Structure 1
């Protein structure tokens, strides 16, 4: 399913041992969004707009297919060699959440969990939009809006709003206030079209979906020496073909020969 969206990490193949399962994923040489924030501090507004818009496209695709990520955070957002976003790590994602179907349970990462998740209430895609709000705040300030060390739910819920620094535009403050809305039914993404928010006024969504918008930066591909053990009398191409045929799942569009 992820192959139908350019902003989700794609699976090339899978195989398993007696006790483990292995996934062969596309390579994202730009690292994680968390790496970028740690290296650069708060990001420029144009960069936040670009990354956020691509994340939105990815989330809306997931939600339209009944999938809630449940652990959206900068560590789970990769940047590929073209400089585009790749949402990854669907280990605790929930499937089949169409219409009004809900789930319940304490999942996700401290600091990114929505209030309804902390309160062990029933929830759906709204939890992802809250996590997006936290992620955007982190891109804009290099810190989280709420302390991940808060362990008492009542203390968390009593926090009215995060602090918005003076350098943050009114459009961004308004976007964050609507994503970090404690009422899950009123939260932007669930309530209203997030693409129409003024913060994204300069975004051409059609071009963005086609990856025709210039990225903030293009990562450099690191040098890597390729080496493998070749069986006697077996060519490299034959060896690769033999190994690929042993995989339990191979995406038919994966050009492993390259």
Structure 2
């Protein structure tokens, strides 16, 4: 797992003449032609400037945490921004959940604990994640969780402070977000509850194909938990999916509230953090070239020639767009997390 060097500052972004200054450049000469473009493994939406800014800043703060994806390089050309991240090929949690429909409690507990550890770490840095869902939870080659996609993160939110931007994914939006009320970091614990519910039952807790009805369910429908679950699991779901954010589990002592819940009584959190616990599922990848956990829709697609194209005018950041000043970053050898 990669992390950012302690000596690389991460200042608050500033705007001047329409530009966004993301801080000093650690490697101003990196360019696409320094890399071999092998396979397409997925596609995403175009990011807004402020989302790209947030993602880059948060990636630089993912310092030495085992369940957060790490940034190796970032650089830009006049036409494109590039992130070079840790390669994680155990598949999305969403991929495995679709295939198996639901998980048994021990497996769901393991993933929930590792995700909670990552969210708790982000909260310790005053970052609210805001977009927790199975698509953003990856498994590494051993079966450990790797949280990715930090474009909707909100930085610099102190424990008693709130924010109000309406954002997230419909199935996992907390009631306070739907009501367009100020919300705090407890929004992430709601999302954790929704993901745990989906792992145990196959669908998000208030799901409806009619989005308007789903929002109505999130706001007003009592939580319905199908039978067959332990009392501890039911109690945790009730606590995380409490519609009142002030009464929600995690609203008082944040991650400590989660750690202390009886559902996790079998978890040694120190062993979990240091990956001394054996994952309940092994993706059985045969090496970096094993793409069986990626959708063939992407892997069978030819890599666009434009992705790695670097004309002379694009050769270095000196000729790159000024819209993201200081975007470039390169990881030092000393900053690789031993796992």
TM over 0.5: yes
- CA shift digits 1:63-100 (9 cap, x unpaired): 01000011000000111112111111000100001132
| Contact map agreement 2:174 2:218 (CA 8 A) in 1 | no
Q: Which has the higher contact order (CA 8 A, sep 6+)?
A: 2
**2:70–2:86 Cα contact (<8 Å) kept:** yes
**1:204-254 Cα shifts (integer Å, max 9, x gaps):** 1111111100011222135369xxxxxxxxxxxxxxxx99xxx93111137
Residue 20 (structure 1) shift: 2.5
* Structural RMSD (CA): 2.2
The DSSP-based 3-state class of the residue aligned with 1:111 is helix
Contact 1:105–1:121 at 8 Å: present in 2 too? no
TM, length-normalised to structure 2: 0.66
CA distance in structure 1 between the aligned counterparts of 2:241 and 2:203, rounded to whole angstroms: 15
1:37 pairs, out of 91, 94, 97, with: 97
In the alignment, the residues of structure 2 paired with residue 155 and residue 212 of structure 1 have an alpha-carbon distance, to the nearest angstrom, of 40
The SS at the match of 1:46 is helix
Distance 2:98 2:144 in 1: 18
What is the rounded CA distance, in whole Å, between the counterparts of 1:155 and 1:13 in structure 2?
A: 42
Q: Which residue of 2 aligns with 1:233?
A: none
The 8 Å contact of residues 206 and 217 in structure 2, kept in 1 or not, is answered as no
Cα distance, 1:154 vs structure 2? 5.0
Match of 2:79 in 1: 19
Call closer, same or farther: CA 1:155–1:171 in 2, change over 3 Å: closer
| 2:130 equivalent among 70, 73, 82 | 70
Q: What is the CA–CA distance in structure 2 between the aligned matches of 1:10 and 1:66, rounded to whole Å?
A: 18
SS at match of 1:35: helix
Alignment of 1:54-93 (within 5 A): 54-93=114-153
Deviation at 1:121, TM superposition (A): 0.6
Note the 1:1-258 alignment, pairs <5 A.
Answer: 1-147=61-207, 149-151=210-212, 153=215, 156-161=218-223, 163-192=224-253, 193-219=257-283, 220=285, 221=287, 223=289, 248-253=328-333
User: Residue in 1 aligned with 2:306?
Assistant: none
Question: Number of aligned pairs?
Answer: 236
Q: Which runs of 5+ in 2 are unaligned?
A: 1-60, 292-314, 317-326
Structure 1, residues 5-46: CA drift from partner, whole Å, max 9, x if none?
A: 111111111111223211111011111110110111110111
Runs of 4+ in 1 over 4 A off after TM superposition: 152-155
Q: In structure 2, do the counterparts of structure 1 residues 107 and 199 end up closer, same or farther at CA, with 3 Å as the change threshold? A: same
**TM-score normalised by the chain length of structure 1:** 0.85
